[in-house]
Structure 1
Amino acid sequence: MANFCMKCGASLEGNVKFCKACGAPVDGIVKIKEPSQPARVNQTQSEPVRTTKAAPAKTQSSNKGIIAILVLVIIVLCGGGGYYYYHTQQIAAQEAAAKAAEQKAAEEKAAAEEAAAKEAAEKEAQAKKEKITAYARAAISELNENEETLSTLAANINSGRYVPSQLLRMATNVSSKIEKNRNNMKNKEQVDDATLINEVDELFSIQSKRASCMSKGIQGETDQYRIGGNYYDEYQSKFNAFKQKYGI
């Protein structure tokens, strides 16, 4: 008969106080036959089963901790990424707004400058037009005065009341008056319009030619009266066109 531990079934030698296999105190001894040893083996093999079952519990707990940490890291990263995205979007929006405001200010400034330039150009054009009109009116006044003296000379020639010497003095006075008025226009403040100046001078020139034709006619060149008449028609045509052109 052999002695065995009541807890683990290990064989006990002599009068021991503790089992060498499981360390349990030996309170009782089981005496069984040797063939029952396989049962002890089965009990001994069952112990590792209990040990192997405890290990997965620790592994699962460790895995849960790792997963929790990973989830926390993901949350932090997502939160940080979301904040970074929001922050960059805010900066982009602010930059876009600043750029739009700058562009708007530039456009408004350009529009204001354009309007000011346009207004200045319009004022300048208006001032030039008024100056041209004033010059044209002054020229017409001088030309009309010359026409009166030319008409008086023609009437005196046709009256037959004056001898040629008297008529020649009248013709000379008329020519002098025409040149005087012509020089008055040249001495006036000139306008920045060469066409206008030339048109006025041409009208004075035609009047001067008419006075010369009358003087030559008085001296016996009667054909000069006809030529003077042609100059008269030319003058009237250009004078009327001149007044229409400048709205006078």
Structure 2
Amino acid sequence: MSTAPTRRALVIGASRGLGLVLVRELLRRDWHVTATTRQATGELQADTDGRDGRPAVERLEMTSADQLESLRRRLNGRRLDLLFVNAAIDRGDLPIHEVPTDMFTEVMVTNALSPLRVLEALRTLVVPGGTVAVMSSEQGSITRNTEEGYELYKASKAALNQLMRSYATRHADDQHTKLLIDPGHNRTALGGPDAPLMPRESIPSVVDVLEAQAGAPGLRFLDRHGEPVPW
């Protein structure tokens, strides 16, 4: 009797919220998962302790070039079907002219620059036909930016989307599916307590999209239902 080939994923930024639920959903679907966290303790570590070593957990502060290079060396020789970068911060709802320069730099480095550095460092681990995906947001859609608020966060996600477009252009021939995913407004530390969605409701749909899109060429910006989000 034949068995399905093992699918392997690396999830960057899985200590809590959407990333943690994403790891759990992939495991539920029999993916083999490696996940990164900034700290050696937390819910993801507890999951590892209760699952006979799955998921494998690696330490990574995504904004650290040294830690990223160290992770790349540790993962040398791995083959991935999915590389998913999930990381973002929000420093409050200030109009852009009131945002301090150091805050602007911190948010842009974390939300836009660092995810692309991760992709460049780890992309060669992804097999032909594999998927490279980044958690984006509808808030990064310039077309849909018609309501006030959270100007820095919106700008960082729009920058992420633009940089991902440049990445996709530069690596157009690498045979990887490339996705920007809008998971919807979720009740997390970032999304706030009044958000309409719970991660356990939205993330299974996100994984449906990841699995359905595997092998598709080019770059797509999709919501959790697989529908295009306007740039």
The TM-score normalised by the length of structure 2 is 0.24
- Identify, as 1 or 2, the structure richer in helix: 1
The structure showing larger relative contact order (alpha-carbon pairs under 8 Å, at least 6 residues apart) is 2
